[in-house]
Amino acid sequence: MPKVAKVKDKSPAELQITAEQLLREAKERELEIVPPPPRQKISDPEELQEYRLKKRKAFEDNIRKNRGNISNWIKYAKWEEEQQEIRRARSVYERALDVDHRNITLWLKYAEMEMRCRQVNHARNVWDRAVTILPRANQFWYKYTYMEEMLKNIAGSRQVFERWMEWEPDEQAWLTYIKFELRYKELERARQIYEKFVYVHPEPKYWIKYARFEENHSYIQSSRRVYERAIEFYGDDHFDESLFIAFAKFEEGQKEHDRARAIYRYALDHMPKEKCLTLYNEYTRHEKKYGDKSSIDDVITSKRKFQYEEAVQTNPNDYDTWFDYVRMLEADGNVDLIRETYERAIACVPPIKVS
């Protein structure tokens, strides 16, 4: 164990300092205003040259110590830009890219500098190189297309969008391209983009968006065809509840209530019962609003079928429910469905033990 130091002189100090005095002095030191460093005033070109030489040497020393620190390169280039030395700033960025050509921030700062200095062709060159080296960095494409649009170079912006879409980017990129075309009333071009989009990102919500695009521009038949193609595209094995509901509501909006009814019934007949709860509710709402007595009875029967199906799937040995289900079907008179349900019920009967 280390030896504990002993106090040699335990007599009180001549000058006593209280705790309050220590706190007061600490507070006073906090309030002391530290004067800013004196501002350097440059009066002639020689002094300016000397100042710049000193700053450049400091930047170069920092870079030499740590070439991989990109923030040092960016600070250096920014300082050169402030000195109106654009060619030097460009040289710094190029040297930095030799160190790390996959740094997204570096490319962005470089291109933004060229844009600020209105060096359009240089900026294009930087964006072109950036999207070639890092085609999955969406920031580059967004800023590149925006720059061309701000320059009123609509054809150039469209060309950049087309190059971007070849990489099949995320959904937002496609929607941005569509909005771009709609800003210039290019409906046919927007339609062509949607045609590619729904196959690159084949989700029901984008088919619905495509159909609503057609509807919003009063292309009713085109909208209907999009819905029909979407249902055909997904086939019997991948039916989607939201797609059928959107299609039926579209027909309802066009006062085509028989069509809407047919869509609901088709979906209910072909989709698994456990995936149809919202569909049943929408079908019931539609029939209560637009249907006659027989169609409302059909809805009630369909809902009861759904409930019976749920019950026998949960407990296939509940024979009372099977009998109730069959009796309801017999009242409906669909012989094929009655026979099929009997066979399903019989298949659930446990085998009798033979002694």
Q: Which residue has the higher pLDDT, 135 or 346?
A: 135
| pLDDT at residue 355 in the model | 45
Whether 170 and 182 have beta carbons less than 8 Å apart is answered as no
pLDDT tens-place string over residues 288-323: 787 665 666 666 666 677 677 777 777 777 767 777
206-249 pLDDT tens trace: 999 999 999 999 999 999 999 999 999 998 778 889 999 999 99
Query: What is the per-residue pLDDT for 35?
Result: 65
Name the band, by pLDDT with cuts 50, 70 and 90, for residue 46. Answer: confident
* 198, pLDDT greater than 90: yes
pLDDT score at 98: 95
Tell me the H-state helices in 100-186. Answer: 104-116, 120-133, 138-150, 154-165, 171-183
What letter does residue 201 receive in the DSSP assignment? S
Amino acid at 41: K
Confidence of residue 338 (pLDDT cuts 50, 70, 90): confident
Least confident segment among 3-17, 84-98, 234-248: 3-17
Residue the block writes with tokens 């960025």:
93
Which residues, 6+ apart, have CB-to-CB distance to 316 below 8 Å?
A: 348
Residues in CB range of 142: below 8 A, 6 or more apart: 176
Residue carrying the six token digits 């170069």: 60
Average pLDDT value for residue range 114-127: 96
* Burial of residue 266, with CB atoms counted within 10 A of its CB: 0-12 exposed, 13-18 middle, 19 or more buried: middle
- The pTM (predicted TM-score) of the whole model is 0.74
Q: What is the spatial distance between Cα 36 and Cα 38, in angstroms, rounded to a whole number?
A: 6
Contact 240, 206 (CB under 8 A): no
The better pLDDT of the pair 302, 181 is held by 181
Q: How confident is the model at residue 16 (pLDDT cuts 50, 70, 90)?
A: confident
pLDDT, position 340: 78
Among residues of the chain, what percentage have pLDDT more than 90?
55
Which one has a higher pLDDT value, 107 or 271?
107
pLDDT of 244: 94
Question: Mean pLDDT score of the chain, rounded to an integer?
Answer: 86
Looking at the predicted structure, is the pLDDT value of residue 190 above 50? yes
The answer to whether residue 354 scores a pLDDT higher than 70 is no
